[in-house]
Every structure is written in C-alpha cells, then in structure tokens.
Structure 1
Amino acid sequence: MATDSITNLDEVVLNQSAKATQANGIIPSAFIGTQIFKYFSPLEMTSHLNQISGVYILSGALNTNRITIRGVGSRTPYGTDKIRLYYNGIPVTNGSGFSTIEAYDLENLNSIEVIKGPKGTAFGSNLGGVILLKPQETVDKTTAFQNNFTFGSYRLLKNNLSLAHIADKLSLELRYGHLETDGFRENSQYKRDGVLLNSSYKLGDNSKLSLLLNYIDYTAHIASSINLGAFNEDPTQAAFTWKSAKGYEANKYTLGGISLSNKITQQLNNTTSVFYTHLDHYEPRPFNILDETTNGYGLRTQFKGNFYFNKRITNYTFGVEVYKDDYNWSTFENLYEDNNDKGSLEGTVLSRNKENRSQFNGFATFTYPFNNHFTAQLGIAINKTKYNYRDLLKTGTENTSGKRSFDAIVLPNFQLNYQFGIHQLAYANISRGYSNPSLEETLAPEGVINPDIAQETGMNYELGSKLKFLNNKLRLNVAVYQMNIKNMLVAQRIGEDQYIGKNAGNTKHQGLEVDLNYLYRFTSNFLLTPFISYSHSNHKFMEFIDDGIDYGGNPLTGVPKHRINSGMQLQWQKGLSVNATYAHVSNIPLTDGNTISSASYNLLNLNIGYKKQISDAFAMEAKVGIQNMTNTHYAQSVLINASSFGGQAPRYYYPGMPRNYYGSLRLRYCL
C-alpha cells in the first residue's frame, strides 16, 4: 500500500542545511523541496528560487532567465553564467559557463539545493555558486501512475504524466510533460514537450548502476525588451523589430548519463558518471538568424571516505571532473522585411564558426572534528580551461581563428563550524572562486582571440549561524558575507548583436541574509507555517573605469538592494491548505552611472489546495491559484546599460505578468 503521504500535515519550511543532501562535508546550503514547489504555479522555477535569500532570478520570459547569486551574474546581458548547474550529479553548464535552468520541468524535480558563493569545492568553486537539481525518485516499493493537469490564463495548458516502479533491485521513473501557453505579450507563444527517464539497478549489496535520459523540445517566440514609454503605455506589446520578424528560438536538448556507485570498503565509496549532452538551437532574430549545435561529453568521479585520526573519525572526498564540448554556429541574413509580413526568412550566410572548449576540475576536501563541538574543513579545487576557436568561412588574413589556454587556477576553501547547543550552530568560511569569460568576451572587436582577457577571481568571507528554538519550531538562519572580485568581466555592447569583453575593474559584494521559519500547531489538526527571508545587498564598484568614466563607488548595476520574500501556509488535517506569499523587490540600477533605475514593486500570490486519500490505492489533489493578486505593473527582468539603435529609446524593460489564474488536478494510482 502506498499513500504518497497525501493526507499528512507537511512541515513546509525553507531549509538551510549545514550538511545538505548533495553538498559535501559541512558547507551550508539552502534547500527547497516539493512542498515549497506547491506555493506557486508549476509553470516556472522563478518564484520558487526567489524564496532563497541571496538568490534572485530576473525572468524576461519562460525561456529567458538570468540567475544571480549575491550579485554575481547581474551584468550578464542574457542568460545565466558564473554559476554551475548540476542535474542529478551531472554537470549541465556548457563549456563557456552558461546554464539553462529553464530546460528542466519543475514537476520532474524532487529538490533544488543552492550553495551560495565559491564554497562548493566539489562543484567547481564558481564565484556565484552552484545549483543542484535532483529529479523525482520513488521511495515506496510499488508501481504507481500519476497525472497532473494544469490550466490557466493566456491559454495555459500543462500536463505531466508519470510511471514509477520500484522493486527489490530496480527503480524506475518515466515522465512525459507537455506545456503550451500564448503568453500575455505579443509574439510570446511557448510550447514544450519533454521526456525523462531516471532509473537504477542494484548490481549487488555494494554497487548500483543508474541511467538518466532527459529530452526537451521547445519553441519559444520572443517579445524581447521594450523602452520605458512602451512599458508604461502597453506592456503587452513586443519590441517592434522582434514582432515584425516573428522572432523565436527552437531548441532540442538531450542529456544522457550513466553512473556507477560502488562501496569499495566499509570506509570508502565511489560514484563515477559518464555523460553526453546535445543542443540543437535555431533562433531567427531581427539582425540575423543564428543556427548552432553543441555536443558535450565528460566524466565525473568522486571518492568519499573516512578514517580514524587521533581517535576521531575524519572524512575526506576527492575526485575529478572533465568536460569537453564542440560548439558549432553560423549566422545568416534575416530577410523578414522582404517576406510579405510572414516573418523571418533565411538569406546569405554571414559567418560559420567552430569552438572546442575543455575544462578540468580537480577537488579534494578534508573534514576533521577537534571535539564534539568544533569541526574544520579544508578544501582545494583546481581548474584548467582551454578554448580553440576556428573561423570556417573566411580565408587568408581575414581568418580570425585562434586558441586560448588559461593558466591553472587554485581555489582553496576553509570552513569552521562550532556547535554551541543541541540545535545551535555557527560557522565561518573563507573561499576563493573564479569565473571564465564567455565566448564573446574572449574575442576582440575585430573577432580575434583577445590574449589579454583574464578570468574573474574573488575571495569570499562569510559568517553565519543555523539556530533552532522552542523545540525546533522556530528556525533562524543568518549569514553575513563580503566577496571581493577582481578583473571583473564586462560585456560591452558595440552593435545590436555584438559584444566584446574586457576586465574593467573590481567590485565589493557585501550582504546580509536572514531566513526565519516558525511551525505552529493550533491543534493536532491545524498547522500554521509562516516564513520570511530577507536579502540586503550592498554591492558596489570599487575600481571601474569604462570609456574614460570612473564609476567607482556606485552601486552594482542590476542588483536590488533589498528583497523580502514571506509567506504563510495553513494546513488542515482534512486535506485543505491555504498558501499566501508576498515579495518585495527594491529599485534596480539600470546603468553604471546610476542615472536610471527600475521602480520597486510588491507581489502577492495565493493558492488553495485540497488533497484526499480516496482509497488505499487512489489519491487526488486539487489546487487553484492567483498570481500577482493586486495586478501590479512591474518589470520582472531588466536589461542593464541598454543601447539605442535607429534613434529609438533604449529598451530596458521586460514586463511582468499581470494578474493571472491557474488550477490543477493531480491523480495518483498505486498498484
């Protein structure tokens, strides 16, 4: 019998763990699971990850997300970089450092774990940190079918169908997901289909073989950013040129991985994974048409063990991660203006290029308890990155092919934990991180490899605590940090689709993060769970000169100084739950000179759910929700330092969705 725990009262908390599920050793991380997912629409991850203090996603559309952690990544024009992304332990960040979290269906996930800053030695020590996505896994020994159907405003339709089976040796989860919506803006239709297979087989008492296959096929039309006048007058409109070209992106993404976990001895375990990724991307844009494919492959192996030293159990980890990808891309003329209003039309080839990218990451940690209260961890990571760029179209002196190999970089990490009560913990951390320049940032204006571009590096200093009071009902996590980043990479726009990179100066990232949860039981039948997270981001340019202008002392572009996320869930034993969340985001500087800022805004969301175990085998859960209840007019994402072309005003703003509604019905049947 499998009840899926559907009638239980769930303690819904945003957990900051000192010894997290996937993270190694004693490094703190923030962890959200399936119960937190139920606060919001299953359409996207933005609202869910924004509950974590220090983490902020700017979402221009379902396919356009920029994740920033403690201000790192805020200056990236489009997409997410300077952060490592892993799916079930497999790295899915590409060779130039970009991650696409939007490629993964939230309903297929069991948890999201975030290590903020470069503390994650075993996961690359990137300046922004690491995000670990863990897919759903069945725990009961049963065979179960489940279907969750969601509908909503702007012709939203989403369906997730799954088959789960677990026996003595075999565990299998097979899922198919479909999503489509017209979007609330012009030219913002979206359609996605995906299949996920996550399975494992026990080869014996000490070993397990796992297989992961994830395939996504989606087409997303692009409304793009708009200027302030259009934003205030009619935020549903698309940028004129993108509407005229009927711009869109079409992606086919495949991830495959095989992992072998083996208990070598009582004190030593190993997990080794080999993986392959493929991306086929086609994007007609007003200025050209981009056609690209990426094939990535690699290996990751990690050993975990322990031994007695001075009569105490000492833990250690070590391993390597090797990743290579082949990136091929071409651009073509877009003849949409001569296509009788039918949208984009491919013309003459403009460029044809190829880049081979490789990364090597080695890592090791050593954790020693001095006594029952005091523990230290020393970690060290080493990274080596190479780029090999080839111009396949031009010949002779016009050919701009070149290579770039960065020197190996050593990234130490030192953590101290002190347990001063049964449920009171304080920690201190010093760690060093880095970020690689993207492809565009490695090229000079004339298109050749820039030999002077350097990796960003930074030192992170952090103090924090994890506290529990009132019989663990009140949970408080506090962290203060300062991260000093040198050789800050700046993507300078020199054309509508042309960026060059340079090391323009230093930044100082100072901040305070507070997460507070309280579990209050009125009676055995009622549970009230209020929570609040607060982020104070005092991030500034220290030495930053661009085009002869000194921006030193100015707040860092693209980062709100204050963010509040709070909420409350009321659960009743009969199966009824009410969830309300509130978010406040302060104004965001849009230019390095701080001459323009986006307006601050407040959002209120509500959903009501009901779940019932109808029989031993059959369960249901229904939910209705309202997003942006007050119909707030706000920018859900911004484009910093936007340039103007053709005499038009700069397009800084991606409008947020107005008030919208959704409902869902989940049915589960266990054999």
Structure 2
Amino acid sequence: MKKLILLFLILTCNKLFAQKFTGTVLNNKTGVAIEKVTVKNLLTGEIEYTNENGEFGFDSVQFPLELEFRLSGYLQASLKFEEDQKELKIYLQQEIDQLSEVLIRSSNIPQEIRKIPASVSLISENDLKRNDNFNLVQNFNYVPGVFVSQGALNTNKINIRGIGARSQYSTNRIKAYINGIPLTTAEGELTLDDFDPEYLDRIEIFKGPVSSVFGAGLGGSINLFTERNLRDQRSVIAEFNYGSFNTRKTRANLKYVKDSLDISINYNQVQSDGYRQNGEYDRVSVLGSAGLLNKSGNYWSFFFSYTNLKAYIPSSLSEEDFRNDPEKAAFTWNQAAGYESYDKNIFGISYEHNFSSDLKNQTSVFYNARDGYEPRPFDILDENRSSVGTRTKFNYKTSIFEKSSELSFGAETMFEFYETGTFENLYEKVEERKSIQGDRLSLNEQNRNYINVFAQMNMELTSRLLLEAGLNFNSTAYDLEDRFNSGTNDQSGDYSFDPVLSPRLGLSYEAFQGKNFYASASHGFSTPTVAETLTPEGLINTDLKTETGWNYEIGFKGNWLNNKLYTELNLYSIQIRNLLVARRVGQDQYVGVNAGKADHNGIEFTSAYQTRVSESLQLKLFLNSNFNFFEFDKFVDQGENYSGNTIPGVPEHMVSPGVEIGLKEFTANVNFQAFGKMALNDDNSGYTDPYELLNLKLNYNWDISQSLDLEFNFGINNILNEQYAASIVTNAVGFGGSAPRYYYPGNPRNYFGGLSFDFDF
C-alpha cells in the first residue's frame, strides 16, 4: 500500500513539474520560418525537428530547460529557460548571408535575386557600413552600372547605365521608393541625399528600362527599405561622428518593439564647413516608421520623414582652377553666397490585407511636400511643390495550364501641384558677400498628374524554367499657368503626352543546381520636364516627344564553392529613341530637344565571397565592375553631327575590389575603386583623367554588458590623395569670354571617426 501511494505521488509530481513546451524557429533577418531545424533537449537528449512552419514541441519537459538548435548554414544556438514561454520565437542567424537567396521585395512578385530574369543589385545593411556615414549616395558607386557624380554633399547626380548622365545638376529618369512610397516627383526629379544611411535596412536597384513595373523611369528604379523589426526590443542609440573639413554628424535612434507593435524614430544632423569655399552644409532630418500586425494577420505600416537643409553651393570650376586651386568656389557663386535651402515632408500609410492564402493586397496613400529657396548669381529661385497619390497592388497565386503561377496587378497615380518663381539677385550692389532679393522675374503654376496601370505574371513552365511577363500603361498630363507674363509670352495651357505601353518579357533557366541563365527584353520611357518643354522664347514646345528605350539583356547568376561564392555576369544593349538633350541657351536656361538615337551597350560583373575561416574569423571579398560602350547612334544638333561619339558624363569603366575581415569584435574594410575617363561634351573634344580611390574603415564593437554596447569607428577616404573630378557639367559653356566650367573637384585625403552607444532597456 505504501508503495502504491509513493508511486502515485511520484506520478503526480511529474505531472505538476513536467509540461508541454512549444516554439517557432525563424530567420533573424527575414522572419521566415525555418524547416528541419534539430532541436535537442540537453537534459534528456530528446530530439525534435521543426515542421514547414518552423514549429517544434516537446510533450513533457522540466525546468530549468536547456535547448540546442542546429541546422547546416546557421550558427548553432543554445538557450536556457527557467519557465514556460508563451508564443516563443527563436531567431537563428545564417552562418553566411547568401546573396543569391535574398528575396527582392520591390518587385511586384517578390522573388529570390538569383531567379529574377533582370539585373538587380542589392546594397545590404552591412554594405552601408563600409564607408563613412555622412552621405547615402556614395554607396551607389560600388554597384556595377551605377555612377554618382558628387559635386558636394548636396550636389549629387545619379545615372544608371548612362541614363541620366546628361542631366545638368540633379537626378532624373530614375524612379525611387522608400517602403513602397514614391520619392520621384511627377516630372521625374529625384533627391536621395536627405536619408540617413544608418536608418536603412537595404537598397534594391533595378537597372535599365523597367517601366512595366515602376512606370516612368528609363534608367531604372532605386528602392529603399527601413528595417522591419521582428523581436521584442526597447533600445536607444546615441552616436557622434567627426571628420575632415569640420564635418560632424549627431544621431539618436529610439526603437520600441512589443508583440505586434513596431516603432522606430531616428534623428540626425549633418554639418560641415566643406572642402571648398562657400561649401558650408547643415541638414537636420527626422525619420520614423511604425508597423502593426493585427489579429487577422494583416499589417499596417506608417512612414514619415522631415528634412530641413541649408547648403551653400561652390559650383563648378574651369580646368585651370580645377588643377591649380580646387578649393576655391566659382567667383560669382562665392560673391552671391549662393545656396539652396528647403523644408521637405514625406508621409505614407500602407495596409497589407490577406483575403486568403492565395490572394493578397497592399494599398498605400502618400503625401510629399517641398518648400525651397535658392539664391543663384543670375536670379533667386523660390519654389513650392506638393503631391498626393496612391498605389494599390493585388497578388494572386493560381495555376495556369496546370503550371504554378502568380499574378500581380494594380495601379499608381499621383497629383502634383508646383509653383515656381524667380527674382532679381542684387548681390552686386552690396559690398558684403550675400544675396539680396529684387523684383520678380517670373511666376508659374503647374499641375501635373499621371496614372500607371500595371500587371505581371510569373509562371513555372517547368521545374527549372521560369517565365516573367509584364505590362504597364502610362498617361501623363499637365497644365501650366503663367501668372507673370501676358500676351504672346504667356505660356499658359493644358498639355499631355501620348499614352505609353511598356511591356517586359523574361526567362530564367536553372541549368545546374544554384546556377541560372536568363534573358529579357523590357521597355522604358521618360517624359520631358516642363523646363525641357520650353523654347528659348519661353513658349511650350508641343512637338517634344517622350524619350523611350528598349533594353535587351542576357546574363548568368550562380553559386559556387558550397554557396560561399556568388557571381553574376550580364551583357545588355539599351536602344534609346527620341533622345532628349538639354541645350544651354543662357546662364540658367536650357531647352529640350529630341536630337536622335543612342546606344547604351555594356558588360557588368558582380561577385561576393563569404566564408567563416574559424569560429572567430570571418572573411568577405567582393569584386564589382562594368565596362561601358555608350555612343550616339544618330545625333545631329544645330547642324553639328555627333553620330558615333561617346556619350559624355559616364566613366568608360569601373572596377572595384574590396575585402572585409571580421575577427571577434573587430572589423576591417578595405575597398578600392578605379574609374575610367569621361567625355566632357558631345563633340568629345575633352576628357577627364581616369582615377583610383582607396578607402579604409575600422570598427570595434565592445559589449560592456548584456544591455549596453559601444562601437568605435575610424577611417580614411582617398588614402592615395588622388586629385580627380568627382562630377562634371556636361557641355558647359563659357560666358563673357571665360573658360567653360566643367569640373567639380573631389575631396582630397580625409579622415573620420566616431563613437556610438546602444542601450537596451
């Protein structure tokens, strides 16, 4: 009897202290469930495996409990639990981040980068840490096929495969988004300098005409994403960086993640005296994002950005000043203390709704506003722009002809309201160095609207062959009201461009495991800006046509050495018709001309190698390059025949190798860039010199405690102290007998360093 009572008590105690324990294993970067993870109870030796949803469970455990998680390609993890955990989530870190397996989010149908029949480059969060953190767009110069002309912190011009290189002072012909919210204005202008690179999680760049997906963007599309936090977290980051030319950056970041709520707010200020005269820079930015996952599995997200900028402009130099006195500013810009200033706001709300496991919708509404003021030697520009719009996209998984397929369709529309005016600049009438506003010279109001309707289908023709087809319809119109001139000079009116259909077709074939060949043909277009449509007499040129182009491309994407090495090679030819060129007719007046045809042919190569040499030593290597053969096919302007000439403003080649060594808490980045010569003008009468840049950055991370981390960084840019043209003004014209000012000098050897605190509370 006593034995029975004792046995009963033992069984009862086991039931009291032993219970079922469950959890889910996820990828720490993507949040995707991980299947077939080995989960071992280190106390009993019992083993379970995660299912296709990443779930595991033990029927009976005792506390304290210690579990071990193992899967090839992921770092082993051991965790100890003192009590049961509700809705437990375990995040495993990949041993090596596989570039080929990254899911491209900006495509209408998200897909692994290796399987997309298009050239898409990724700038990861880690890539953004390889340089100083003062300017976002400098990171783009490591991407094959992309070149950023950097006149100053606020004077940057991006071109993709040579498209946009002929823009005078800003980026155009490229679409850009942040978290799916458009950043490009309705007439095609783009500024990315405002965004803090440390707030971004990744950047995806589609190269070449891809209007079937993104609309009016002949050069391609740049897609920024902020981090979507997955784990419960409360942290504060405080950071200060200092560099040459009295450049400093102050940053503070707050994160709060709890259950289904994710909030992040980022403040940063960048100030600099600049390398050149009249080069002072001061920018304050506040960015915020929030996400909420409701009980039905639908997701709300919110984004906002505020920027206040005042940046002086040293402008371009003649060749003599560039070589002998690169620190000086252009004389008139220095005398007028020319600068640009603006306040910019961006707001966006998105909602992702799952109607079923096969049908999903994402809808966004957004608002973008900019109030700018820019004193120049020839006048003072005062402008105000605001836009509202919406974008909706449906994704539907189905079977077509018994083949697994996915359809995506939707629309994007934007309404933009733009007021611009100019005033006399009376800086020459005062002795001190400053601009003074005089009488009004012009006042125009413009309303522009567009609508894109798009559709895409992906179909698995076989287990190895993927078909991708897309189509975009665009309609763009605007009205212009001249509120200053009257009579024959009044350019008021309603105008529109012919509707454009942009198709795309691509095939991707997995010839061997992890190795894909692809071929694609895609169409793109860019509508002229209002400034480009004006004639020298100030009238609208109604004969100006939309610039269009076809991109033909073949390529290879593949993994090697047990997925440690990823390589990508592509050859492309972009045939541009109704080539739109800006002809300078005054100090601040350009007119657009459809001058002919251009051929942009090129070769691009990407490679990334990553390996863990030992438990504490990790090695990463990359080699990126492109070789450009960009020529005018048929180009006659004002009686001059430039057919066969090299298109100016683009280096003939770029070769960039780099190495990153990680040893426990220490990381060293060394990267090199070699750029070929650039033609200065359409007649190819002058070229820049080729140049090489060698950069170094060192990081040390010190875990003081479980809740406090310190990070130190130090770096050197342009170690070789190369004198080079970081940007040029194509087809510059000298006025009043002066030499043309083509050149923006790059910074000489310069240094930077910083300290950051990361506190979890």
The answer, yes or no, to whether TM exceeds 0.5 is: yes
CA distance in 2, matches of 1:411, 1:297: 24
The yes-or-no answer on 1:619 pairing with 2:703 is: no
Q: 1:663 aligns with which of 753, 757, 760?
A: 753
CA distance in 2, matches of 1:128, 1:398: 34
User: Does the aligned pair in 1 maintain the 2:301–2:351 contact within 8 Å?
Assistant: yes
Amino acid at match of 2:413: V
User: In the alignment, what sits opposite 2:250?
Assistant: 159
The yes-or-no answer on 1:335 pairing with 2:419 is: no
The yes-or-no answer on 1:569 pairing with 2:660 is: yes
CA distance in 1, matches of 2:607, 2:691: 22
User: In the alignment, what sits opposite 1:629?
Assistant: 719
The yes-or-no answer on 1:654 pairing with 2:738 is: no
User: In the alignment, what sits opposite 2:562?
Assistant: 471
- Cα deviation for residue 103 of structure 1 reads 2.0
User: In the alignment, what sits opposite 1:273?
Assistant: 364
User: Does the aligned pair in 2 maintain the 1:402–1:448 contact within 8 Å?
Assistant: no
User: In the alignment, what sits opposite 1:416?
Assistant: 507
User: In the alignment, what sits opposite 1:453?
Assistant: 544
User: In the alignment, what sits opposite 2:104?
Assistant: 20
Q: 2:212 aligns with which of 121, 131, 134?
A: 121
Once the two structures are overlaid, the 10-residue window that deviates more, 232-241 or 382-391, is: 382-391
Q: Secondary structure at the match of 1:122?
A: helix
User: In the alignment, what sits opposite 1:594?
Assistant: 684
The yes-or-no answer on 1:640 pairing with 2:730 is: yes
User: In the alignment, what sits opposite 1:58?
Assistant: 149
- Label 1:636 to 1:14 Cα distance change in 2 as closer, same or farther (>3 A): farther
- Cα deviation for residue 122 of structure 1 reads 2.4
- Label 1:77 to 1:15 Cα distance change in 2 as closer, same or farther (>3 A): farther
CA distance in 2, matches of 1:11, 1:582: 26
User: In the alignment, what sits opposite 1:237?
Assistant: 328
Q: Secondary structure at the match of 1:368?
A: strand
- Cα deviation for residue 204 of structure 1 reads 2.7
CA distance in 1, matches of 2:750, 2:96: 24
**TM-score normalized with structure 2 length:** 0.86
- For residues 109-154 of structure 1, what are the alpha-carbon distances to aligned partners after superposition, in whole Å with 9 as ceiling and x for unaligned? 1111100012363211622000001123333211111122111111
CA distance in 1, matches of 2:200, 2:95: 19
User: In the alignment, what sits opposite 1:293?
Assistant: 384
- Label 1:459 to 1:431 Cα distance change in 2 as closer, same or farther (>3 A): same
Q: Secondary structure at the match of 1:102?
A: coil
User: Does the aligned pair in 2 maintain the 1:125–1:381 contact within 8 Å?
Assistant: no
- For residues 323-361 of structure 1, what are the alpha-carbon distances to aligned partners after superposition, in whole Å with 9 as ceiling and x for unaligned? 111110110000001122241000000001111111111
Segments of structure 2 that go 5 or more residues without pairing to the other structure are 1-27, 30-74, 78-91, 110-115
User: Does the aligned pair in 2 maintain the 1:176–1:195 contact within 8 Å?
Assistant: yes
Q: For residues 99-248 of structure 1, what are the structure 2 equivalents within 5 Å? A: 99-119=190-210, 121-124=212-215, 126-248=217-339
Amino acid at match of 1:22: S
User: In the alignment, what sits opposite 2:42?
Assistant: none
Once the two structures are overlaid, the 10-residue window that deviates more, 113-122 or 146-155, is: 113-122
CA distance in 1, matches of 2:179, 2:506: 25
Amino acid at match of 2:299: K
Amino acid at match of 1:513: E
User: In the alignment, what sits opposite 2:617?
Assistant: 526
CA distance in 2, matches of 1:254, 1:347: 29
CA distance in 2, matches of 1:82, 1:342: 36
- Cα deviation for residue 17 of structure 1 reads 6.7
CA distance in 2, matches of 1:550, 1:37: 43
Q: 2:587 aligns with which of 496, 506, 513?
A: 496
Once the two structures are overlaid, the 10-residue window that deviates more, 512-521 or 579-588, is: 512-521
CA distance in 2, matches of 1:621, 1:267: 45
- Cα deviation for residue 465 of structure 1 reads 1.2
Amino acid at match of 2:570: A
User: In the alignment, what sits opposite 2:492?
Assistant: 401
- Label 1:355 to 1:59 Cα distance change in 2 as closer, same or farther (>3 A): same
Amino acid at match of 1:467: G
Once the two structures are overlaid, the 10-residue window that deviates more, 49-58 or 609-618, is: 609-618
- Cα deviation for residue 18 of structure 1 reads 8.0
Q: 2:140 aligns with which of 42, 49, 60?
A: 49
- Label 1:527 to 1:10 Cα distance change in 2 as closer, same or farther (>3 A): farther
Q: 2:456 aligns with which of 355, 365, 370?
A: 365
User: Does the aligned pair in 2 maintain the 1:27–1:119 contact within 8 Å?
Assistant: no
- Cα deviation for residue 14 of structure 1 reads 9.9
CA distance in 2, matches of 1:17, 1:289: 50
- For residues 404-454 of structure 1, what are the alpha-carbon distances to aligned partners after superposition, in whole Å with 9 as ceiling and x for unaligned? 201110000001010122210111100111011112111111111111100
- Label 1:440 to 1:189 Cα distance change in 2 as closer, same or farther (>3 A): same
Aligned pairs, how many? Answer: 667
The RMSD of aligned alpha carbons is 1.8
Q: For residues 575-586 of structure 1, what are the structure 2 equivalents within 5 Å? A: 575-586=665-676
Higher relative contact order (CA 8 A, sep 6+): 1
User: In the alignment, what sits opposite 2:5?
Assistant: none
Amino acid at match of 1:20: I
Segments of structure 1 that go 5 or more residues without pairing to the other structure are none
CA distance in 2, matches of 1:9, 1:309: 37
User: Does the aligned pair in 1 maintain the 2:117–2:519 contact within 8 Å?
Assistant: no
